[in-house]
Structure 1
């Protein structure tokens, strides 16, 4: 089998397909038979406002959790000594030669 590219490239016929859709404005919309009363409108508004409050609560809890994890990492980095980088301290000797 040859590792070279073939000298003759197979020719493919390009066929262009066009789909023509009918105009959307020409189609009639279905009739709307039900007019919501004010009580139904208030119920729908209450449902969507409850979802907004839930998402705000979830975002607050996510922020609280993220802040706690960040504080934990910062505390570990601050209060632990790096391994192998710090030389051990020599005990202080009292100067008796005075």
Structure 2
């Protein structure tokens, strides 16, 4: 049951079950990648290199959330390069 709670398993629809399995697969892949990265770092990096790696990781930590006033600008920037398609064209492309 891929680590699911047995009681919750029997309440899942087939679609939700597949979504749960996909999530479990992605978590497993992420965990394996992290283990491989840690093994490589342990085998190939000296103490100074490890300190540098940790410092770089800390710089990429999530920043403080943007203020609400910045939302409109962020949305405009994110959507600036998004193409536009009419609903009829979208529906025709699905046939």
Q: TM-score, normalised by structure 1?
A: 0.35
Q: TM-score, normalised by structure 2?
A: 0.36
Greater radius of gyration (CA)? 1
